[in-house]
Structure 1
Amino acid sequence: MDAAARSTSSALDDALFEQGERFAYFQAVRLLRRRARLAGDDPERLRVRPRLALGFPESDIDQIERDLPRRHADIDDDAPEPAPTPRITANFFGLYGVSSPLPSFYTEDLIEEEREGRSGMREFLDILHYTLYPLLFESWVKYRPHVRVVEEGDTAMLERLYAFVGLHERSMRRDDTPGVSDMLRYAGLFSQRPHSALGLKTLLADAFAPADVHIVNCVESWLPIPDDQRLTLGDGRHALGVECYLGQESRDANNHVRIELRGLPLALFEALQPGRREYERLRFFTRYYLTEPFDVTVLLELRAGLAENARTGGMQWNALGRDTWLAPRANAVPRPVSFAI
């Protein structure tokens, strides 16, 4: 695997330095910065300057050099070999060249200077370019969080993104909690108020694809009546249907939600069983999304034709009530498995 990765990286380097004009500017900068990090070098060593010409270009980049040319006087024989400093010659955004905001005679003077074998004026302007082009890249990266977090390692931006889902404190993001690492994907759903059944369905349908997800609201259930609210002689609570009820339980349809995941493939069906990791993810997503302490029941339905006969001593098809059914019919949809979370 390492050899294949090195081969791919080497091929990309060859294309980058030999056919640099085929790359978009920001793509090339990202690749060169990544290349420097992998080599243990400073990604800020990259230099960018504009192309010294007045012809209209066909692409963002004219060429990419592996290392800046050095004068012999700048080389110390006793000093260690310095890290390479790649340089991009760009076709835009410069103080000279076809896109320069300055009058064209500035570029013409630099071209004449180059013909005479000198480059002092150009190198002076390039001191400014070596600052301006990095600022351009920083402004481009600023509104691209995925680049800032994944490639640039911007932990401050990562903290802001986690704040959208209420996990801005590092102590709340335990690595051993299933589902925490997936929360940023659903930041848009968590930031919407109020939370809805449609939002929960959208979240679970993506997290547990290809399950066919249904959210059933207002599921009727029987709840125990607290002792202090039951009918008791002499306490004054005797208006039937108003402040007292017969029996020890009351029917309620405002506190129970059922999550149905149907058409499950075998691997996902097994992974969603209680005690498994996908079950923990399901429980985490559901409890974190719901803003009220609802009772939640999960219903799992295996895809038709996937159920097999019970086997003793095996790793599956032996848990009665979970993946074992009495007298199953061939190609029939197995009876759903239900449990609370």
Structure 2
Amino acid sequence: MATRRRNREPSVAESLLREGHRFEFFQAVRLLERNLKGEPSVGEQSVPGRERIKFRSRVRMDFPASDINKVIPPKGDDERHELDTNFLPVGGFNGPLPQPYVQTLLDRTKRRDYAMRDFIDIFHHRLISVFYRIRKKHRVALDQSHPGETHFTRYFLSFLGLGTKGTLNRLGVSTAADLNPVAGSANRSEEQTEGLRKLLNPWLSRTAPVDDRALIRFAGLLNQRPRSAVGLELFLSGHFRIPVQVRQFAGQWHRLDDDQKTVLGRGGMNNVLGQTATLGEKVWDNTSRIEIEIGPVNSATQADLLPSGSGYASLCALARFYLGDSTDFDIRYRVAAGQVDQIRLGANTRLGWTSWLKTEGAEGDDAQVSVRPRFN
């Protein structure tokens, strides 16, 4: 990019080749690897001669002031970049090579005889390559892999129970058809259910695009046991960036199995008063269902998180992932005051979700809309 004086500033890659001594070693190798996309990383090639970066040892008796002496670009048929390094030398002021051999090496190099130097660089190249790989293993910024393929990602996913091939992307395959309030209704015939499915088909076929990487930032929270209501609030509000409140002990009715009902008479069962006898066919469970309140939000956010919106499947999948199979939940939508619009024909409103009959503006938030997801 040109400056005010119309002089073009050199790029970072150009500065590295011109003034390699100004760069820190690990950053210099990282920049070179980024420019060599598709090539194996340093030290990971089975044949060292095929690596695109070659390390040389600068053998001198002085005290260098930087990690790198210079960076030599490819020349002729040799497509490798060369880095003259000033640390971990085989010979020199800080190297293990005895002084007489160092002097012999310097004399031969002065006469342009590089055989001895090239032989020593075979070991130096491997030493520096392993040194870089050690650093890279413990510094995520040096890894050139896709963020979803680094070993750090696998570590965090293992904390979440998603570290194996069989558990990867388990939240990315759920469909809205598996999470919609149409499925599992005991009060609707098969014909009615199928008709409603066809009517709502545009959103029943959507997928829940929850990438495993979206959960990594919550690894510490999701790894806590036992799970809590506050944890669920932090998890959902942090992911969707909206206010979330959880009301516990919402409760629900469970239908009793035939072998749990009270039967009177000679062949009766479960008829001991005060112990096994029950009245009715259902039992109230106060602990197996909670209510997740979303909001206050604007009307656009509410529409996106309703069953007809693109975020509903993700919301249900994340809540189910946190709660497990033992706790069911309702979703209540709190629409901010002033966001409740007048109903208009042709305004693409949905009965019971985004349509209100009113004559005056709402004085406060509206929290009438509630959805109960059912999982197949």
TM-score class, shorter: 0.7 to 0.9
Deviation string, structure 1 residues 192-250 (Cα, Å, up to 9, x no partner): 444343443332222111x1222333223333344443333222534444322333433
Per the normalisation by structure 1, the TM-score is 0.76
In the TM superposition, what is the alpha-carbon distance from 1:85 to its structure 2 partner?
Answer: 0.8
In the TM superposition, what is the alpha-carbon distance from 1:101 to its structure 2 partner?
Answer: 4.5
Tell whether 2:53 aligns with 1:46. Answer: yes
CA distance in 2, matches of 1:325, 1:281: 26
CA distance in 1, matches of 2:58, 2:368: 68
CA distance in 1, matches of 2:216, 2:150: 14
Bigger helix share: 1
Tell whether 2:330 aligns with 1:323. Answer: no
- Which residue of 2 is the match for residue 197 of structure 1? 229
- Which residue of 1 is the match for residue 70 of structure 2? 63
Check the 8 A contact 1:263/1:302 in 2, yes or no.
yes
In the TM superposition, what is the alpha-carbon distance from 1:41 to its structure 2 partner?
Answer: 5.0
* Matches for 1:120-269 after TM superposition, within 5 Å: 120-144=115-139, 148=143, 150-151=145-146, 162-167=157-162, 168-169=164-165, 173=169, 176=173, 177-181=208-212, 182-209=214-241, 211-234=242-265, 235-269=268-302
Deviation string, structure 1 residues 12-54 (Cα, Å, up to 9, x no partner): 32133223334332222222122112xx555532112233334
Tell whether 2:364 aligns with 1:338. Answer: no
Aligned pair count?
A: 315
Q: Tell me the secondary structure at the aligned position of residue 335 of structure 1.
A: strand
* Aligned-residue CA RMSD (Å): 3.5
Deviation string, structure 1 residues 160-214 (Cα, Å, up to 9, x no partner): 66444344225853765521433444444444444343443332222111x1222
CA distance in 2, matches of 1:26, 1:151: 19
Check the 8 A contact 2:305/2:311 in 1, yes or no.
yes
1:314 to 347, 351, 364: 347
Per the normalisation by structure 2, the TM-score is 0.70
Q: Tell me the secondary structure at the aligned position of residue 263 of structure 1.
A: strand
Q: Tell me the secondary structure at the aligned position of residue 222 of structure 1.
A: strand
1:85 to 77, 80, 83: 80
Distance 1:267 1:153, change over 3 A: closer
In the TM superposition, what is the alpha-carbon distance from 1:128 to its structure 2 partner?
Answer: 1.1
- Which residue of 1 is the match for residue 15 of structure 2? 15
- Which residue of 2 is the match for residue 7 of structure 1? none
CA distance in 2, matches of 1:152, 1:296: 33
Check the 8 A contact 2:58/2:86 in 1, yes or no.
yes
How many percent identity over aligned positions? 30
Unaligned stretches of 5+ residues in structure 1: 1-9, 71-81
- Which residue of 2 is the match for residue 290 of structure 1? 323
Check the 8 A contact 2:338/2:361 in 1, yes or no.
no
Q: Tell me the secondary structure at the aligned position of residue 150 of structure 1.
A: coil
